[in-house]
Structure 1
Amino acid sequence: MNELKQITKIKTEANIGNRFVAGLIDFIIVYGFLVILFITIGEQNSDGSYSISGAPAFIPIIFWFLVIVGMECTVGATIGNLIIGLKPIPIDGEERKLTFGESFKRHFLDSLDFSPIGYLLIKNTEKNQRIGDLWAKTIVIKTVQEGN
């Protein structure tokens, strides 16, 4: 069966404030979960910090994959992006959910993308892309129209 793919020519916008808030929401969810996890099942160290070892040490990685990469692959956006009204799509404009590889690449270097480097790239690249978007060949578009 031939499936008609919807490809749209899209003009991107920096949306730095919205993108920052969306990322902040996502990482509040991830880090909030981690704090609760470490306090509830972690062992307190002599300096007052908490640590997790053994198989439970994989829980934070699995949670990150589910909440960040998994959401983009299954729902089409992370929780933060859904709330703010943003959606990552392939750079060719095809309106589809990202693949696992695209989403993983987008978020693998999030720590750099939340630094001034990410800001400078979004402001100075033709399609307003950060490091992860450049590597994954993705762009971020608005999903809701303002003022309508």
Structure 2
Amino acid sequence: MNKTNLITKIKTEPNIRNRFVAGLVDYIIIYTVTFILIYAIGEPNDEGGYSLNGLPALIPIIFWLIMTVGLEIGFGATLGNLLVGLKAIPKNGTKRKLTFGESFKRHLLDPIDMFFFGLVGIITIKNTDLNQRVGDLWAKTIVVPIKSQTELK
């Protein structure tokens, strides 16, 4: 089966609610662990809070990288996407997991896509032919239901 036929059989849908829930789940986990780390190993600062300085400040960044990029390239989806039955694949429809670069590009733009409660992401998903958010456009990826991948086997 050539790539052109494969892409026509993969149905992309906006899945706004599922994608919102997936992002919410992922980032609740990331923020919770980050705040716990800050209070557990952080140092008190002059403003009455805690902060991470030096090498410990890299721990939340590494955790974010593992939770988003690591899980996506290792298992094909983040925890949130697995929970709602979605996965990201290359835009050309190739049945493979994303590369590090593709996944990193997608998630590096999460703050833009999630700006103002996800409004930027919702607008781009609804106004692109393949229902892509800004990160997907840059990384050349699409988000599809996991079941669509199993139907193609």
Q: How high is the TM-score relative to the length of structure 2?
A: 0.87
Counterpart CA distance in 2 for 1:95 and 1:33 is 32
Confirm whether residue 119 of structure 1 aligns to residue 122 of structure 2: yes
Confirm whether residue 129 of structure 1 aligns to residue 132 of structure 2: yes
Counterpart residue identity of residue 145, structure 2? K
Q: Aligned residue for 2:95? A: 95
Q: Aligned residue for 2:107? A: 107
Equivalent positions of 1:1-148 (< 5 A) are: 7-9=6-8, 10-115=10-115, 116-144=119-147
Is the 1:8–1:95 contact (alpha carbons within 8 Å) kept by the matching residues of 2? no
Aligned length: 142
Deviation (angstroms), 1:8: 4.8
Identical positions, percent: 59
Counterpart CA distance in 2 for 1:11 and 1:83 is 19
Counterpart CA distance in 2 for 1:118 and 1:8 is 22
Q: How high is the TM-score relative to the length of structure 1?
A: 0.90
Counterpart CA distance in 1 for 2:49 and 2:125 is 36
Deviation (angstroms), 1:48: 2.2
Counterpart CA distance in 1 for 2:59 and 2:43 is 15
Is the 1:127–1:139 contact (alpha carbons within 8 Å) kept by the matching residues of 2? yes
- Coordinate RMSD, CA, aligned: 1.8
**Structure 2: tracts of 5 or more residues without a match:** 149-153
Q: Greater share of helix residues, 1 or 2?
A: 2
Equivalent position SS for 1:89: strand
Runs of at least 4 residues off by over 3 Å? none
Residues 34-81 of structure 1 show CA distances to partners (whole Å, capped at 9, x for unaligned) of 011001000122322210111111101111111110001111000100
**Structure 1: tracts of 5 or more residues without a match:** none
Counterpart CA distance in 1 for 2:32 and 2:48 is 18
Equivalent position SS for 1:139: strand
